[in-house]
Amino acid sequence: MAHIDWEMKAREFTNCNCDYGCPCQFNSLPSDGTCRAVAGFDIDTGHFGDIRLDGLRAGAIFNWPGAVHEGNGTAQLIIDESADESQREALLKILTGQEQDPGSTVFNVFASTLTTVHDPIFAHIDLDIDVEARKATMRVAGVIEASGEPIKNPITGAEHRARIDLPNGFEYRLAEVASGTSKITGSMSFDLDASHAHLAYLHFNSSGVVD
């Protein structure tokens, strides 16, 4: 299937309501049977056709009443206010799973499970992601206040490192696991406290994850 030629390399920070490790990453049901998540993407390099995406940021908030694959999900997308009209349209097409093979990316998979997608928000996204350090902060005024930090040993307080390796993953190949805390307000509202988070380097094109 022919698509617009696009490619994106980014750093990702995601915090969800599951226990550390997130059963969803292992084809199991979510920890409490539902899924709520917030994600931030800091694009290092990218293009959509001849539209450059370098240096832009995007975010997404999701809420499913059950497991993701059961559908009926709700989403809110946030696009960097510095993006011009063509860049906004390009990022929205990528984030809503367009111009990519079916099931090839997390964007396309998630899009197929959504019933409600709120109008996108164009706002300043304050985002800092350090994959190796397992640390991140994300702020969008009136919408997102989120952070990630290394999991700590409950006895010694030492940082604990764990990774998820998915050779055939549709989101990433390797992710660093962290502890996340988030407060979400606006069209959706929920709090996450010391729950699963992961940080990863992403590399996508219209065919899926690039090794």
Q: Measuring CA to CA, which residue among 154, 158, 62 is closest to residue 112?
A: 62
Residue 25 sits at φ, ψ, to 5 deg, of -70, -10
Q: What is the pTM of this model?
A: 0.95
Over residues 83-107, mean pLDDT: 97
- Express each pLDDT in 17-66 by its tens digit: 999 999 999 999 999 999 999 999 999 999 999 999 999 999 999 999 99
Q: Are 14 and 184 in contact (CB under 8 A)?
A: no
- Express each pLDDT in 163-200 by its tens digit: 999 999 999 999 999 999 999 999 999 999 999 999 99
Over residues 197-204, mean pLDDT: 98
Mean pLDDT of the chain: 97
Beta-carbon count within 10 A of 122 CB: 14
Cβ neighbors of 93 (< 8 A, separation 6 or more) are 4, 48, 99
Query: Domain coordinates of the chain in residue numbers?
Result: 6-209
CA torsion, ordered 126, 15, 143, 81, to nearest 10 deg: 40
Over residues 131-159, mean pLDDT: 97
Give me the residues paired with residue 51 across strands.
48
Checking if the pLDDT of 211 tops 90, the result is no
